[in-house]
Amino acid sequence: MSGSGGAGAATGPAVVDRDTVRLALVVGGLVLAVLLGFGLGRLNPPANPGGGATLAGTVPAGGAAPAGGAHSHAPGTGAHSHDGATVTQGGGDGATGLSISSAGYTLAPSTGDLTAGRIGELRFQVRDDKRRAVTRFAVVHDKPMHVIVVRRDLTGYRHLHPTMAADGTWSVPLTPAAPGVWRMYADFTAVADDGRQVATVLGADLAVPGDYLPRPLPAPETSATVDGFTVGFTGTPEVGRSVPLRFRVADAGGAAAALEPYLGAFGHLVALREGDLGYLHVHPEPVRDGDAVTFWLTAPGPGRYRMFLDFQVGGVVRTAEFTLTVA
């Protein structure tokens, strides 16, 4: 009897211990799941919590999920282009900058009279589909807004970075070099009410009174000189296919120039198509191929293009210009 009683006494606590362990594991698993959920929430906070913004209404690129078809990226992100290759904006073949409205946003210039050879001011707003001035933009390549200005004959190229007032009005000094019809492009990534980032390029014409004497487009060349620097490129762009263009900058002595980062990259390339002025803004690979800076360019359609390469040496930004024919 005592032996039987001893065996029973040993079995009871063992069963209780197993149940206790099982309960502890279940509770522990629940606690771990809660903690993991909290941790993931901390790692992935809601876009722009509380509706706040930084840098006077701008937010860092990548702070929110991109809209369908749009994208976001941080300064120095690998080679890519704003050429409509993945998002068609205003052109059947993918060229951008052809429309004053796209992706729910509208460019609203408010520039007064511009006079050739005199300092004026370029002013504009970007408005959403509710006609509200947009005040939240992602910082892309060190700036929340990139503005390109060029005359319709593809002369007088300028790459500008305006400042934004509290009411969403952007402004920047502008001195048109000559009379004629000029084209402005606003290249930006807007932050929607729900936190989505929408990359968009909008375009509008600007009139500068006076006799318009268009210049013929220079013949195609793969080399250009500016301020004693020689800039050359290799590569042949193709319609609808991403092709590398490798640019090299040499100083007056023929040695590779000491390129400096400008807007988060070693160069910026803008290409404009003759005729409709279809727009491509291309950024390079973050790592140089020896002394070359590589851009991946997808031509949206055939025609002649004028390419503008911005590069910085000794704290000075210069622009090399090329004519390119795409078959």
Tokens representing residue 184 in the block: 């402005």
H helix or E strand, kind and range, residue 127 = strand 120-127
- Tell me which of 90 and 211 has the higher pLDDT: 211
Q: Is the pLDDT of residue 149 over 50?
A: yes
Q: Is the pLDDT of residue 28 over 60?
A: no
Domains of the chain: 58-77+84-208 (2.60.40.1930), 223-326 (2.60.40.10)
Q: Is the pLDDT of residue 23 over 70?
A: no
pTM: 0.75
What does the mean pLDDT of the chain come to?
79
* Strand, helix or coil for residue 29: helix
Phi and psi torsions of 9, nearest 5° = -65, -30
* 254-288 tens-digit pLDDT: 999 999 999 999 999 999 999 999 999 888 998 89
DSSP 8-state symbol, 50: G
* Strand, helix or coil for residue 243: strand
* 95-129 tens-digit pLDDT: 899 999 999 999 999 877 899 999 999 999 999 99
- Strand 120-127 vs strand 169-174: parallel, antiparallel, or unpaired? antiparallel
Task: Give 139's strand partners.
Answer: 60
Nearest to 145 by CA among 199, 92, 217, 70: 199
* 29-47 tens-digit pLDDT: 443 433 333 333 333 333 3
Q: Residue type at 2? A: S
The CA–CA distances, whole Å, from 35 to 27, 29, 31, 40, 301 equal 12, 10, 6, 9, 53
- Strand 243-250 vs strand 229-234: parallel, antiparallel, or unpaired? antiparallel
